[in-house]
Amino acid sequence: MDTERSATIVIGGKPYELILTTRATKEIARRYGGLENLGEKLMKSENFEMALDEVVWLLTLLANQSILVRNLKNKEAPEPLLTEDEIELLTSPLDLAAYKEAITEAMFRGTKRNIESEEESLKNVAVG
């Protein structure tokens, strides 16, 4: 996988890469109205259970992106996707608090690359 745009977590003794793909960005936009609303939503969750649900949903989404990419490249031996139930059973609330940092890192890396690419293409535009 592309470690420049991912963060790694361990769930149930197995490492998973969290990747912000275009597909994941679209899903987040559908749920929150855009990446910029995500942090606000997580911080303002009305209750603890809802906050946990949001972190589990995000972990599932971002961890499954690396599995989907791997399955796309290895169609003869696809791996099963993670479910929210599996993540809930294989983690503790303390784990989820630590994973929030990995979620933030994966999202930052995913959007940072896009911003850098846009800046580079702007530098290459002939002026005048």
- Kindly report, residue by residue over 50-65, the tens digit of the pLDDT: 778 888 999 999 999 9
Q: Which residue has the higher pLDDT, 121 or 17?
A: 17
Are 25 and 65 in contact by the 8 Å Cβ rule? The answer is no
90, part of any domain:
yes
66, part of any domain:
yes
AA letter at 74: N
- Look-up of token digits 């990446």: 35
128, part of any domain:
no
Which range has highest mean pLDDT (26-35, 85-94, 118-127)? 85-94
Task: Give the whole-angstrom CA distance, residue 73 versus residue 92.
Answer: 32
Task: Give the whole-angstrom CA distance, residue 70 versus residue 95.
Answer: 25
Residue 61: the pLDDT is 96
**Tokens found for residue 51:** 């906050």
95: containing domain? 3-123
Number of domains in the chain: 1
63, part of any domain:
yes
Q: Which residue has the higher pLDDT, 88 or 127?
A: 88
Per-residue buried b or exposed e for 19-44, using 16+ beta carbons within 10 Å of the residue's own CB = bbbeebbebbeeebeeeeebeeebee
Q: Which residue has the higher pLDDT, 24 or 104?
A: 24
118, part of any domain:
yes
109, part of any domain:
yes
10, part of any domain:
yes
Whole-number average pLDDT of the chain: 81
